[in-house]
Structure 1
Amino acid sequence: MAQGSSDSRAMANSGELEVIEVTAQKKSTALQSTPIAITAFTGEMFEQRGIDDLTNLQSYVPGLHIGQEQDGFKISLRGIGLQGTSSISDSGVAFYIDNNYIARPAGGSSIFYDIERIEVLRGPQGTLYGRNATGGVVNVISKGPAEYFSAQAGVSVGSRGHQELRGVLNVPINEQLSTRVSAVYTEEEGYVTNTSSAPGADDFFGTDGDTTVRGQMLWGSPETTEVLLSGTYSDLQGTGLNMVYLERNPGGPPPTQALVATIPEDPTDPLKAASDARAFNNTETASGLVRLIHNLQGNEIFFQASYLDQTTRTQQDFDGSPVDISIFNKNQDSTAKSAELRFASDDTQTLSWIVGGYYFAEDTFIFRRVRLNGLAGPGVINLPDFLLDEDGQSETLAAFGTATFAVSDEFRLSLGARHTRDEKTGTKVTRGNFGAPFPPDIPNDQYSGVAKFTENSYMLGAEWDYSEDVFMYASTSTGYKAGGFNLTSNGLPYDPEHITAYEFGIKSDLWNRKAQMNLDVFYYDYQDLQLTTLATVNNAPGQFTTNAAQSTIYGAELETQFVLNEQWRLLATFSYTEAEFDELYSTDNRDPAPVANPNDPAGLGRTDLAGNKVPYVAEHSVSLGLQYGKVLGNGGYLQAAINTLWQGDMYLREFNHPEIDKVEAYTKTDATLGYAFPGDKLSLTLFATNLENDVQKSNVYVSPGFLGQSATTAYTKPRTLGMRVDYRFGE
């Protein structure tokens, strides 16, 4: 908070809203003159609003939902962006850290330290960001090396034994070379209490110690050439994920069904569990990038290459009970490399443009093991394991370009296009199936195990400076997410997603930047939405992805800020989203009368779900925030903020089951109170999130058929209270 408090103090004295620069269009522009529905936060804003991890963003970004499944988290914007967990599945919302695409994001909390800002772009960004941005983009931008010496150290304590140590050291070597190192270490007990006394059983959704270290070196000058070298290492030691059963449908081999029948009644408190198995969710990530920016008489050459290696180790009690029935292990090893080269013209010209090329390749190996017990004869027996190896590769090559022509000083037209070539390959090997016959492996005679796609995306836009304070824009754009094949089940292919979006927006800074009102209206024509369901295919459990033929999504989002006086600021957002399936046949084994459908090659049984709501987006949401900042007579700075989100009903799956999929309307309130001592070196902040102490389902996962296909969920974090202290050295 120390650095941020200086900025807040300046804004409080001026009584104006700050100007935020963003790079959403691959170039630096002011947020209020960027023709995209975008919410941006500076690092200071995170501290003001008490945002301490990725899930907290949901209270501040319209249409954003973040859930977790197994070893990763899922991001959705306006109902678009979910993904499966196979080695060739993709998210529809692209997640970036420092312009580096992260295909399989895991963890998520440690990245929020020492950042410059976070940009959330809503709507398809296919032209500049490619196939994984049908729903939008989340871009985390770190603070880079500065030309002056500075250092910061901090400590936090809070609920559930939360402890955090953090530090930053920025050292300029000379006029051309600067370095920066940041580190954070966190421990916290889980917020789901495990009442089991079994050895190794621990509370869920905590950490035994998360460590992240980032080092950067910047050489050169922005007037000529800059070269950035950056490396990050992260070791996250999670205490495991809990599976709360929303229903229990006994299934699997007869001995297993007999043992499932002995499970006692589940805890009624969603934040209590009775799981006998040791659980963990560990992620180790190492990444590096090199970036070169060369200024050529106002034009810019940009090149960035990156490499990422990520290992996750997950263990879950799949029966979620004190009875020793089933344990699930997933080990995932993923490597990814990417490169982007682009050329950008001087923006002061009548015609400005960006052209570039992009390459991305990923290789992911997943080992899955399910241990299963049963009841037969005199007692418990151990069934043979289910063992599945999965190896998938994805490769993308793209060329893109945008051009903006200034028809006049106030009116501009834009055109963008991207050509993408995608290839996915994969194999699976089943080495055990509870003693049952092995299902066919992939590739096999059903499908070759190779999928190739070629796609052209475009964008047409218009911008109008209606006045000095009012900016208007309109656009039509397309987005695309590559198809694939059902690698973990029957190998059958599924089609790419396609979206055509129409948007109109107004951004305004009124009354000498004392009020800001941004409105975005959108309409999506969404074709072949990819939906993933867990099903038993070919005598074995696996993920089955199919396409929803057509969906329509439309709505409006209003984001506002008001400077009431030099001390008080009001923030308010409102979103309305109507999202439903126009045509969809999908699988639900609980439906008593599935509709026969010739488009059912797997023979799973299909249900007509046309008219159902698209998951992970509420029809209405409202957010209200109030901020206070005042310079005291002794030179200290007092700062306070409170924010309340009200979100309407929404569903977590396409089936819209009222008992399983529905999340009832709720409110969530966060608050902070901070004081920066005179001189802005030392600061103290008290924070509270989810003051209501109300929790909601965040995701629905259907347990595999060897236990009976039953819906399970995980719940969001309850009330969290804490205090942080920061001390800043140097400038």
Structure 2
Amino acid sequence: MITKTMLSLSVAAGALFAAAPAFAQADAPQAAAETADQGGFGDIIVTAQRREQRLQDVPVSVTALTGEQLTGQGVTSTHDIAQSITGMTITESGGYVQPFIRGVGSTVTNLGEPGSAAFYIDGVYMPTVNGQLYQLANVESIQVLKGPQGTLFGRNANTGAIIITTKQPQFTPAGSFSASYGNYNSFVGSGFVTGPVSDTIAVSLAGNYDRHDGWFKNRNPANGLGKRVGDSKRWTIRGNVLIKASDNLDITLSGDAMDINDASPIIIQPIDRYQGYVPGALLPTGPYDYIGNEKVGYKVEQQGASGKLDWDLGGVKLVSTTAWRHYENHSIDYDSDTTPFRYSQINNNDVGNNFTQEILLNSDNKSNFSWVLGGFYLRQNGKLDPLYVLSGTTLTTIAVKQITDAYAVFADGTLTLGRFDLTGGIRYSYEKKVITGSLNGIQRLDHVKASWDSFTPRAVLAYHPTDDMMFYGSFSKGFKSGAFNANALSPVPIDPEKVDAYEIGGKLTLGRGFTVNVAGFHYKTKDLQVQALNPITNLIELRNAASVKSDGVDLDVVFAPTRKWSIKFGASYLKAKFSKFTNAQVFLPVPGGDGRNASAIVDVTGKRNVRSPDWTLNWAVDYTIDLPGGGTLVPSGNVYYSSKFYWTVDNRISEPQHVVINASLTWNLPGDRFSVTAFGRNITDELRFRNVSASAQADRRAADEPALYGVRASYKF
């Protein structure tokens, strides 16, 4: 397994270590990832079991990163998270964010698609994966929970949960501002301010703006030859009000809005050949060439409001989170065939509203039995408003409305008997969907209904031979809800996807700021929801067709003996294969044809699951250098390695192994208020892709970010 790339990776990691560069300081406050004052890394607090616990005491595979660590490692959006998390890939398909963790994930892009990883922002559940390209400015922490979290996090946590916590209001005035400029005429500005309005009310306001020129160039003379394609503009704003209603009752009111205008997720090109290709015809010469005939666009809007109540009832804590969200996702003139000709063009308008209500009751953890009870409700009203498909000169209009009601109740408890912890939990989920749809104005579906329910238990046995060691074994189940095939206007529902997961692991604290966490796992995924592609329209069609087995080992090592420096190393080995998949749709090149592919149904049992590399590795180090006269210099860096993985179920199209290196050098002026940072992301300009797929017209791909670099100035008080 030792390759030239692995060797260069090791050299790069050694160079970063020698320069003492990016597992950024872990001094940040706040519940989700706060640290005590002991040698760089103290007790990291996580909420993986829906209550605050030390990371080293939680029998779950969790990676927790502070906002400072994310910045130091060059992680600026949810798209980048996998660079700091081993065993994980985050790819996209037409703006749909699709995390895979330990060989479990979803490639589906259906109406109301929840994905396989539960996203939470400040306790608010984000039920759809389209548009989840969240910027990570003004973020306090991220927790990534690996493995099915069906008991505590519900309907779409088959692969895990991603919990984002933003900076919250404080009664001490504080703020931070930063602005950066870099190549591709990029500018990023962000700010956060907080302070008291009275003795019982504090407020905060956070916002960021991000723009850059596109790194794609048009190579089609009929469509603006030489012009840059994919200019991006994004902004977000979030406001919070904290009301201390009494010594025992806190009320937090929040509102946010997000706007994205960035075509990058849907700018695709053919790989080597396409329908109609003849020698001398137009082909891209590089990964950032665009030869399509459409002026593509992709726009996302989200607005939301929430209210959270934290009430200490004396021995029991009640947490109620009520939220409403509106989302719109518009794919504009999506050139799905990738060719210079108009074989297929898609305009998709996915619009909806979500209402969620969750109630948690937590024990005070003062006895040998701690517990949590919960209830959850979701109503999602989504629609394709409408979906236009142009195939040649034929225009097809699909209009769909779907209402989803999801209910759940759950209980989880841990009994401590000496040095043993026994944990058991169960969740009951019920979901109903009603769909109505028309094709070219003619109704095809009229309030067609389907419902599903599921029990998702978990059981954990943990043993603490000392206060600094824990070993555990666990079983858990995950449940991804059933669905209607909205694009195909089919009245036949798709069954839920379920995962059985077994895990054994250990968490060791070996000294001051030195932890080693390891876990081995075995997963069985049944009734995998997979998608087929209509050869004419390039629209997605769903089916239950496969089973997957995933086996592997994760290792995370953190060494931070002082506040001056810290090192993080992570490694994951994974084998994820289709244990049964006899009716897979694939697209195969037509021998001696005109460049097109032919759809075929084949048996891919034994093939590797998609987007699941055998190896992922991560190194992150930083070092603080004291300067004469005050101030500090902090070199930081992050190295991420992924081995080869496959994009198609027949393993015909693969992503080569790649290494992504991020680095920064920060000068903190005396007083620690002003700082200047030189930064680079993907500094070796490593080529990798956001998405690769096959269709009737072409094998197609969308390139990920090239090398990005710039300078950032920051101020905080």
Contact 1:471–1:508 (CA<8 Å) still a contact in 2?
A: yes
The TM-score with structure 1 as length reference comes to 0.87
Which residue is 2:548 aligned to? 551
CA distance in 2, matches of 1:169, 1:622: 37
List aligned pairs for 1:91-240, cutoff 5 A.
Answer: 91-108=115-132, 110-196=134-220, 203-207=228-232, 209-220=233-244, 223-240=247-264
CA distance in 2, matches of 1:501, 1:146: 40
Structure 2 residue corresponding to 1:610, chosen from 605, 621, 643: 605
CA RMSD in angstroms comes to: 2.7
Structure 2 residue corresponding to 1:90, chosen from 114, 118, 125: 114
Which residue is 1:507 aligned to? 507
Which residue is 2:647 aligned to? 652
CA distance in 2, matches of 1:574, 1:225: 43
Change (3 A) 1:392 1:352: same
Aligned partner letter, 2:445: I
Change (3 A) 1:459 1:585: same
CA distance in 1, matches of 2:350, 2:507: 44
Q: In the comparison of the two structures, how many residue pairs are matched?
A: 677
1:7 has 2:27 as partner: yes
CA distance in 1, matches of 2:228, 2:642: 29
Partner secondary structure for residue 246 of structure 1: strand
Partner secondary structure for residue 151 of structure 2: helix
Structure 1 residue corresponding to 2:288, chosen from 247, 271, 276: 271
Q: Which moved more, 1:216-225 or 1:61-70?
A: 216-225
Shift of 1:188: 0.6
Which residue is 1:494 aligned to? 494
1:454 has 2:448 as partner: no
Change (3 A) 1:395 1:261: farther
Structure 2 residue corresponding to 1:399, chosen from 409, 412, 432: 409
Contact 2:131–2:329 (CA<8 Å) still a contact in 1?
A: no
Shift of 1:533: 1.8
Structure 1 residue corresponding to 2:318, chosen from 301, 306, 330: 301
Structure 2 residue corresponding to 1:639, chosen from 611, 634, 637: 634
CA distance in 2, matches of 1:6, 1:465: 25
Shift of 1:191: 2.1
Contact 1:334–1:362 (CA<8 Å) still a contact in 2?
A: yes
CA distance in 2, matches of 1:8, 1:540: 50
CA distance in 2, matches of 1:12, 1:726: 25
CA distance in 2, matches of 1:407, 1:244: 60
Contact 2:28–2:66 (CA<8 Å) still a contact in 1?
A: no
Change (3 A) 1:91 1:550: same
Structure 2 residue corresponding to 1:364, chosen from 355, 374, 382: 382
Deviations 1:332-388 (A, max 9, x none): 111111000121111111211111110011111112112344xxxxxxxxx231211
Structure 1 residue corresponding to 2:675, chosen from 683, 693, 702: 683
Contact 1:200–1:277 (CA<8 Å) still a contact in 2?
A: no
CA distance in 2, matches of 1:676, 1:13: 21
Deviations 1:265-288 (A, max 9, x none): 311201111234222111111001
Contact 2:101–2:146 (CA<8 Å) still a contact in 1?
A: yes
CA distance in 1, matches of 2:36, 2:161: 31
Contact 2:143–2:163 (CA<8 Å) still a contact in 1?
A: yes
Shift of 1:553: 0.6
Deviations 1:297-332 (A, max 9, x none): 131011011000011222123343444554321111
Aligned partner letter, 1:310: Y
Structure 1 residue corresponding to 2:48, chosen from 1, 24, 47: 24
CA distance in 2, matches of 1:649, 1:87: 31
CA distance in 2, matches of 1:245, 1:108: 26
Change (3 A) 1:200 1:558: same
Shift of 1:104: 2.3
CA distance in 2, matches of 1:473, 1:193: 52
1:243 has 2:240 as partner: no
Aligned partner letter, 2:206: S
Contact 1:625–1:642 (CA<8 Å) still a contact in 2?
A: yes
1:578 has 2:571 as partner: no
CA distance in 2, matches of 1:466, 1:5: 30
Change (3 A) 1:344 1:289: same
Change (3 A) 1:544 1:666: same
Aligned partner letter, 1:7: D
Contact 1:88–1:426 (CA<8 Å) still a contact in 2?
A: no
The TM-score with structure 2 as length reference comes to 0.89
Partner secondary structure for residue 72 of structure 2: helix
Which residue is 2:5 aligned to? none
Structure 2 residue corresponding to 1:430, chosen from 427, 430, 439: 439
Change (3 A) 1:88 1:557: same
Contact 2:176–2:193 (CA<8 Å) still a contact in 1?
A: yes
Aligned partner letter, 1:582: S
Deviations 1:672-715 (A, max 9, x none): 11111111110111111112211123323444xxxx35332212
CA distance in 2, matches of 1:540, 1:681: 56
Shift of 1:117: 0.3
CA distance in 1, matches of 2:175, 2:662: 29
Contact 2:219–2:284 (CA<8 Å) still a contact in 1?
A: no
Shift of 1:632: 2.3
1:588 has 2:585 as partner: yes
Partner secondary structure for residue 44 of structure 1: helix
Contact 2:483–2:495 (CA<8 Å) still a contact in 1?
A: yes
Shift of 1:68: 1.7
Shift of 1:572: 1.1
Aligned partner letter, 1:245: P
Change (3 A) 1:624 1:6: closer
CA distance in 1, matches of 2:337, 2:548: 35
CA distance in 2, matches of 1:407, 1:13: 30
Aligned partner letter, 2:500: T
CA distance in 1, matches of 2:449, 2:435: 7
CA distance in 1, matches of 2:367, 2:231: 53
Structure 2 residue corresponding to 1:718, chosen from 686, 706, 709: 706
Q: Is there any run of 5+ residues in structure 1 with no aligned partner, and where?
A: 251-256, 374-382, 433-437, 594-603
Change (3 A) 1:541 1:185: closer
Contact 2:547–2:581 (CA<8 Å) still a contact in 1?
A: yes
Deviations 1:63-117 (A, max 9, x none): 2111122233222211222142221433111111112121224555553011110
Which residue is 1:55 aligned to? 79
1:351 has 2:369 as partner: yes
1:328 has 2:357 as partner: no
Deviations 1:541-580 (A, max 9, x none): 5422222342211110001122366644322111011110
Contact 1:568–1:627 (CA<8 Å) still a contact in 2?
A: yes
CA distance in 2, matches of 1:120, 1:5: 19
Shift of 1:467: 1.2
Which residue is 2:20 aligned to? none
Deviations 1:406-453 (A, max 9, x none): 112x21101100001011222331118xxxxx9x9335xxxx832210
Change (3 A) 1:519 1:6: closer
CA distance in 1, matches of 2:541, 2:467: 53
